């Protein structure tokens, strides 16, 4: 019987009995890692409250909202060079990379338009063979950059509108190589990106950018050591760990399965769905030295943090026009955003950012370090060797960065500024809003998928 299946069956019948198959000293509460309980660390909310709120109220709304044109298209530079090391393999599987080429070079299945011209994308042949899987399929991580000419005309109108709104914050990917990508054509799922290149990304994030307690040597900080750190440093680690857990959950929930599997979504190249063994490998206590459940708890923390950012910035976001040039679509988007924000405000126990960075010069320095470390993580995303992974990594990091920008904008009284009808000291660019909503959508999806893993394995 499947490990977690056994745990969940026992959970519903004899929740206080020890699981004798895995040692008499281990209770079911310790073993059933897919059934989390109690408070979210460093937050007043509970796991059960988040589950109910997200799965019943937030997830259905945000998952449909991000399909709107305003949120579908994200401008990103996937060609920027890694600023930290030069031996990046650029790939951890066959067909992982993409590069521009002439239409005549493309196989018929991949022909289309990119950027409204005659340039499209094909698969890179310059792969690092020592890191690549030889039996994978091109469809696994092919980045679909197909955009119609009419969509490109819309982008020109959107840019003119944005310029008229006096957006003054520089986007992280505004340069000649930044391009619009349709997120609905490039879903976040397993690509096969793994090995030395992928591990180097996360090791660099954890080892070189997360604040660390003394005598902590591994990439991940053990949960028992976190309480010895100040709140601000714990928060930084939890948001990184929670985002990492969210990404891993997406990969486990959208994994290329063998044809023998009886669940998942059938595609042209195979069967996609939940990979329970991969889920256990990444999160079970036995495979993670007991830390997997804590990583899942950190997912709830970063979700709560971003939810609070949306609540705080609601007066600003409710005044946004969500302009795409299609009046009917824009009106529907405004209504959908306002409905989602109305629901967000009903969540009873939001994260309390006011407890952070209190004090004198030391608090100011810590806040500057906090911002600098996070900015450094955003630069590490240019070192990701899989374009599809880079796309979603950049988007979710920018979304989280936007949430932090909102939370720690101490000089802004959002309610007062909204009443005046104009925000004179705070502004979000289009890409920040797109990233913020897509980021919370990804976290919402992860919590929903975690619940589905538990239900399916009963």
Three-state secondary structure call for residue 182: strand
User: Which regions of 77-172 does DSSP assign to beta strands (E)?
Assistant: 98-102, 119-123
User: Which regions of 149-241 does DSSP assign to beta strands (E)?
Assistant: 179-182
142: Cα separation from own chain's centroid: 19
What ranges in 32-187 are assigned the alpha helix state H?
47-53, 59-65, 69-72, 149-164
Q: How many CB atoms neighbour CB 197 within 10 A?
A: 23
The one catalytic residue in 19, 32, 210, 386 is 386
| Binding-site sequence positions for FAD | 189, 191, 202, 241, 244, 282
The one catalytic residue in 4, 32, 252, 389 is 389
Q: How far apart are alpha carbons 239 and 309 in whole angstroms?
A: 13
Q: Are 269 and 258 in contact, with CB atoms under 8 Å apart?
A: no
**Within 13 Å of residue 357, how many CA atoms lie on the same side as its CB?**
17
What does the buried/exposed string (b/e) look like for 19-31 if buried means 16 or more CB atoms within 10 Å of the residue's CB?
beebeeeeebebb
CA angle (189, 190, 194) in 5-degree steps: 140
Q: Which tokens hold the place of 439?
A: 């980021």
Rg over CA atoms, the chain: 22
Q: Are 441 and 66 in contact, with CB atoms under 8 Å apart?
A: yes
Confirm whether 386 is a catalytic residue: yes
Within 8 A by CB and 6+ apart from 209, the residues are: 240, 373, 374, 376, 377, 380
Confirm whether 389 is a catalytic residue: yes
| Binding-site sequence positions | 189, 191, 202, 241, 244, 282
- Residue in this structure with the two tokens 């010069």, named with its chain if needed: 361
- Residue in this structure with the two tokens 């993670």, named with its chain if needed: 288
Catalytic (active-site) positions = 386, 389
């Amino acid at each position: 019987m499947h490990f977690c299946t056994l745990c969940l069956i026992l959970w519903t019948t004899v929740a206080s009995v020890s699981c004798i198959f895995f040692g008499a000293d281990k209770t079911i509460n310790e073993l059933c890692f897919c059934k989390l309980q109690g408070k979210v660390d460093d937050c007043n909310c509970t796991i059960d409250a988040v589950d109910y709120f997200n799965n019943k109220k937030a997830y259905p709304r945000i998952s449909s909202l991000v399909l709107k044109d305003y949120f579908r298209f994200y401008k990103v530079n996937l060609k920027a060079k890694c600023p930290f090391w030069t031996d990046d393999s650029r790939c951890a599987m066959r067909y992982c990379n993409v590069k521009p080429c002439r239409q005549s070079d493309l196989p018929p299945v991949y022909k289309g338009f990119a950027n409204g011209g005659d340039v499209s994308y094909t698969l890179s042949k310059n792969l690092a063979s020592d890191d690549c899987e030889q039996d994978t399929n091109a469809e696994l991580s092919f980045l679909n950059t197909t955009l119609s000419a009419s969509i490109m005309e819309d982008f020109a109108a959107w840019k003119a509108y944005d310029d008229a709104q006096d957006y003054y914050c520089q986007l992280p990917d505004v340069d000649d190589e930044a391009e619009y990508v349709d997120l609905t054509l490039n879903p976040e799922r397993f690509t096969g990106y793994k090995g030395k290149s992928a591990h180097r990304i996360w090791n660099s994030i954890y080892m070189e950018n997360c604040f660390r307690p003394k005598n902590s040597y591994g990439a991940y900080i053990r949960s028992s050591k976190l309480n010895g750190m100040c709140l601000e440093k714990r928060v930084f680690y939890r948001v990184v760990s929670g985002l990492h857990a969210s990404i891993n959950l997406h990969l486990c929930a959208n994994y290329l399965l063998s044809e023998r599997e009886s669940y998942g979504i059938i595609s042209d190249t195979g069967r996609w769905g939940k990979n329970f063994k991969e889920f256990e490998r990444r999160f079970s206590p036995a495979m993670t030295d007991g830390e997997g459940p804590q990583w899942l708890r950190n997912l709830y923390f970063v979700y709560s943090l971003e939810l609070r950012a949306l609540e705080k910035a609601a007066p600003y976001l409710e005044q946004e026009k969500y302009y795409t040039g299609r009046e009917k679509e824009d009106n529907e988007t405004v209504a959908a955003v306002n409905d989602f924000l109305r629901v967000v405000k009903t969540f009873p126990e939001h994260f309390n950012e006011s407890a952070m960075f209190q004090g004198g010069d030391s608090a100011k320095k810590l806040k500057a370090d906090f911002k600098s470390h996070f900015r450094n993580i955003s630069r590490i995303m240019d070192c990701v060797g899989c374009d599809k992974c880079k796309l979603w990594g950049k988007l979710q990091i920018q979304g989280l960065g936007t949430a932090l920008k909102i939370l720690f904008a101490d000089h802004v009284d959002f309610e007062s500024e909204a009443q005046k009808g104009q925000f004179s000291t705070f502004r979000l660019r289009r890409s920040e809003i797109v990233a913020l909503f897509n980021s919370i959508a990804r976290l919402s999806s992860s919590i929903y998928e975690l619940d589905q893993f538990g239900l399916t394995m009963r």
